[in-house]
Amino acid sequence: MAEALEQLRNLNEREFILRYVQPGLVGLIDGTLSTLAPIFAAALLSGSHAALFVGLATAVGAGISMGFSEALSDTGAQTGRGSALARGVVTGVMTTLGGAFHSLPFLISDVNTALIVAGVVVAIELITISLIRRRFLNVSLRTSLLQVALGGALIVAAGVLLGSA
């Protein structure tokens, strides 16, 4: 563990962004956005209990899928993006976390309350993504907020439409 921390300290900022921030950000964005439609559709169709388990299953499944996708898409040798295994783990974990956080409000049995709390959690997640993009990718906070909010709104709309069908 100490050796891994020492390697992180020795990375320049560009290497750190390529090897950890970018794969983590891809995972966080994917986990946050891709799980919204199934969670909201399940909540509207079947209630909080179903939304909780659909959300957690989707988050874990997406995390595994994204982890493998990142690890298998680039060995890192040609691009300098570092270890495929490390990037895959970072992407997979962040995807799972991104999907799991807004699943947890569905521990609340009243679906309307759970939906409101989940909406607040999603807003916090989108702000966090925007702040990370601002810090490491030099994207303006306003532009980033608009981009991720648009993506989130489109996906929630799809989930609501399908869940209300």
Tens of pLDDT along the chain (165 residues)? 677 667 777 778 888 888 899 999 999 999 998 898 899 889 989 999 999 999 999 999 999 999 999 999 988 887 888 889 999 999 999 999 999 999 999 999 999 999 999 999 999 999 999 999 999 999 999 999 999 889 888 988 887 888 777
Q: State pTM to two decimals.
A: 0.87
Rounded CA-CA distance 157/115 in Å is: 13
pLDDT at 74: 85
Amino acid at 80: G
Query: Domain locations in the chain?
Result: 14-163
Separation CA 96–CA 28 (nearest Å): 8
Q: In this predicted structure, what is the pLDDT of residue 128? A: 93
pLDDT at 142: 94
Rounded-to-integer distance, Cα 60 and Cα 2, Å = 28
Residue 4's pLDDT is what? Answer: 64
Which amino acid is located at 54 in the chain? V
